[in-house]
A = this chain, B = another copy of it.
Amino acid sequence: MSPRRSAQDTLATRDKIVDRARLLAASDGLEGITIGRLADDLGMSKAGVIGHFGTKETLQLATFAAAVDVFQHEVIDRVTGMPPGLDRLLRLCAAWLDYLDDGNVSPGGCFLTAAASEFDGRPGQVHDAVAKAGRRWLRFLEAQVRAAVDAGDLPGDTDTEQIAFELNGIAVGTNQVIQLHHDPRARERGWRAMRRVCGALG
Interface set of A (CB-CB < 8 Å, partner B): 26-29, 31-32, 107-109, 113-114, 116-118, 120-122, 130-131, 134-135, 161-162, 165-166, 168-174, 176-177, 179-181, 186, 189-190, 192-193
A27 → chain B, closest Cβ, in Å? Answer: 4
A180, B32: Cβ atoms closer than 8 Å: no
Contact of A181 among B117, B135, B169 (CB under 8 A): B135
Copies in the assembly, this chain: 2
Complex formed: what's the CA distance from A118 to B31 in Å?
Answer: 11
Given contacts A29-B31, A166-B173, 14 further A-B contacts (CB under 8 A): A27-B121, A29-B29, A109-B121, A114-B117, A117-B117, A118-B118, A130-B180, A131-B180, A165-B186, A165-B190, A166-B189, A166-B193, A169-B169, A169-B176
Residues of B within 8 Å of A135, CB to CB, are 181
Residues of B within 8 Å of A131, CB to CB, are 180-181
Complex formed: what's the CA distance from A26 to B121 in Å?
Answer: 8
Complex formed: what's the CA distance from A107 to B131 in Å?
Answer: 18
